[in-house]
Every structure is written in structure tokens, then in C-alpha cells.
Amino acid sequence: MRIRSIILSVALPAFILSAGDFVMAQPPVPGRSASSFALALTVPQDIVDFSVDNLGNIYVINTDNQLKKLSPQGDSLAVFNDVRRYGKISFVDVTNPLKILVYYRDFTTIIELDRFLNLINTIDLRNQNILQAKAIGLAYDNNIWVYDELDAKLVRMGDDGSLVDQSNDFRQLFDSAPEPATILDRGGLVYLYDPAKGVYIFDHYGTLKSHLTFPGWKDFGVIGQNLLGRDDAKFYRYQPGTLNMQEEPIPATYQGASHIYITPSIIYVLKKTGLEIYSRK
């Protein structure tokens, strides 16, 4: 994988739109858009984090480090109980609900689970001399993206831990190499989000398409061609290739959330009291 050093750094002023300008698949906003969502369900569990697959199933991690799969209605479907072998769960990728990735950063180990949360595979990244990796994610070809922090390379590996492809050393491209906390493979592009430096966008061949200097975002996501994020006060939406950053205040209903996940028709809001699920009326 060869990366051509084509970098577009963007730091744009925000253009605030009215609530009516936001459409389906955009962040909720005050007024008409926010009022079209209503609290449909609360999952009153002791949840520290969650993920949602494309079928609407919810995967929650509780304070005991237990991973549970819930139906869209909140009913328990499966439980992964092997909570002590690898330490604390750092991240769960449910892009493919038939191949769920669970990452244990302290042990640089990825486990793969089937849809019933049965263990089907284990990958010890140390066997590839990857000793420090903050972020992993499912690749377009069902392989796995890993960012090797010590070598500053984006690596794609197979289920057997073998090296499929890798980038050049990012330290040759940047004055300061990124330290991504999130890797998302969406729509033919790979997005690396570094909370300190912003978004790095690559194609599947390793060409750096752009670097967008949007630091400090939480809950970074991609819907269609839109990049989504937030801070404690506002939602942000930006479409690469345009000069139109959009922002709106977060409704009071969602204030204090530790994690907000947005889909076109449902908004998931994690609070200390549990997981609140809002659906369109």
C-alpha cells in the first residue's frame, strides 16, 4: 500500500442552519427536527458503553466488563461472559453482525464473536510485533484495520493474524503522526479520527485524500457522505469537499450523555441512568 502525500487541511468557520435545513440522517437539532424524536425505550442497566449493528441490535458493556446483545426492543439475546481473560474491553466493532470484533487494548488482542456471542477466533497483535494499538476496525473485505502506533502505520490483517497490507510510515508524511482513537471503513474510504488532530481520510489503496482539522469531537461517525461529531454543547456535520460546516446546539434532553449514537431514524443516548432510545414519531 503506497500513500501519496496529498493533504488538504481544512479549518472552517461554522455556518449555522435552521432546524428545517436538517433532514433525515442528520444530527438532531432543536425545534422541528428534535421534536420529531420521542423517547421510545429506556434500558435501565449499569452500562459503560454500547454499539449498534445495522439490524438495530444493541451491544452493551456493563460495569462488570460483560458484553450483552439486546434486541431493538431491549430484550436479551446473548451474553459473552469470558470477562477475565484479557482484561477490560476497550472497543466493540459490530459493523458485521456475523463477525463482531472485541478489542482488548491492554493485551493488544482482538477476539471475534459470532452472532450468538460465541468465540470463533483470537488474534494476538503481538505476534505481528504490534505492541501498541489504540484503534482497530473492520475492513471493507472483512479483514481488520489496525493502527500500529509505534511504527506509525495503518495495517490490514487477516483472521489468522497475517499481514495483508500496510501503509508507509506516517512519520514520513506528517510532522507529527496521528494517534487515531477511531477507525471507520465506510463507502470506499477509511477514516482515522484523532481527537487532537482531526480526521484523516484514505482510500482503500492507501492514498491520503484529505486531513480535516476538526479536533475535540466526541462520538465521531460517518453517515453517507457526512462526517458527524459533537462536543458537550453542539452537534457538528460536515461533508468533505464542501465549505459547509453545520452545527446546532444539543437538545437539553441529551445533555450529560457519555455517548450518543445517531442513525437516520433512531438516536441512542447513554446516561448514568441507562440507555435512552429515541425514535421518530
Q: What is the pLDDT of residues 230-273, one digit of tens each?
A: 999 999 999 998 888 999 899 899 989 999 999 888 999 999 99
pTM: 0.87
Give the C-alpha distances (Å, rounded to integers) separating 57 from 29, 95, 195, 266: 25, 11, 27, 12
CATH number for the domain whose boundaries are 9-280: 2.120.10.30
pLDDT bin (cut points 50, 70, 90) of residue 214 is: very high
Question: What mean pLDDT is predicted for residues 50-76?
Answer: 96
| Cα-only R_g, the chain | 19
> Would you kindly state where each structural domain of the chain is located, as residue ranges?
9-280
Chain segment 147-172, per-residue pLDDT in tens: 999 999 999 999 999 999 999 899 98
Count the helix, strand and coil residues of the chain and give each as a percent rounded to the nearest 5. Answer: 5, 45, 45
Query: Among candidates 281, 280, 271, which has minimal Cα distance to 42?
Result: 271
> Greater confidence, 130 or 36?
130
pLDDT at 34 over 60: no
Question: What mean pLDDT is predicted for residues 127-143?
Answer: 95
Residue 35: its pLDDT value, please?
Answer: 56
Residue 217: its pLDDT value, please?
Answer: 97
pLDDT at 175 over 60: yes
Residue 264: its pLDDT value, please?
Answer: 82
Query: Among candidates 19, 36, 49, 39, which has minimal Cα distance to 235?
Result: 19
pLDDT at 108 over 80: yes
Residue 106 is classified by DSSP as G
Query: Among candidates 150, 152, 154, which has minimal Cα distance to 204?
Result: 154
Q: Phi/psi at 126 (nearest 5 deg)?
A: -65, -25
Residue 23: its pLDDT value, please?
Answer: 33
pLDDT at 25 over 80: no
Query: Which H/E stretch holds residue 35?
Result: helix 32-35
- Burial-class residue 56 by CB neighbours within 10 Å (0-12, 13-18, 19+): middle
